[in-house]
Amino acid sequence: MITLYLTDISYIDTDDKKLLNMISADRRERIKKAVLPLKKKQLLGAGLLLRHALISSGLAPDTEIKRGNNGKPYADGINFSLSHSDKYVLIAVAGNEVGADIEKIDENQNLSVSERLFDDRDLKDIDIHKFFSMFTRLESYGKMTGMGLFPAAKTPMNKIKNVYTYEFSGYSISVCTEKKEDIIYPPILLKF
């Protein structure tokens, strides 16, 4: 079963000691080093969602988060993927390898980048909504496999299996899993 948790970070206070004490020391240090206020909020929101996912999966909130050779975060006992865009942070938790992406749909996006990202067969009749749907599908696939976006580029959309794509409040969300799983949608909204 795939569970999606989403939080709106607009109201998160990055100086709130109670919230900061709920996340790892490593993440607190990353927040301290971040320059942009939005990045600080995204880092804090991601840490809080990860903590919630760990606890919901029956794990300790201080479970060690490791990084694979490709930089993908993981922990023993849970499959998860984090993503953020603008004011939203998303975590997907699944029974097997998972990748998730959320992107704000920007009506002014220059579509010329499509030619570098997508297979020629997928470029037919591309518009903004199709672009963001395909972009989040590709990004979630790259995260699930651990190869990242650019090595996954040019993968034909029909070759990406077990992917779920939705639009939510002006954002495109995609989740890709190694094996087919049911998904709980819409995302469970959490406020911190």
What digits encode the pLDDT tens for the residues 30-72?
A: 999 999 999 999 999 999 999 999 999 999 999 999 988 888 8
The terminus-to-terminus CA distance of the chain in angstroms comes to: 24
Please state the pTM of the whole predicted model.
0.94
What digits encode the pLDDT tens for the residues 162-187?
A: 999 999 999 999 999 999 999 999 99
As a whole number of angstroms, the distance between CA 180 and CA 96 comes to 9
Domain extent, residue 109, equals 2-190
CATH of the domain at 135: 3.90.470.20
Q: How confident is the model at residue 125 (pLDDT cuts 50, 70, 90)?
A: confident
Element (H, E) at 171: strand 171-177
In total, how many domains does the chain have? 1
Mean pLDDT, range 77-102, rounded to an integer: 97
The closest alpha carbon to 86, from 25, 181, 157, 169, belongs to 169
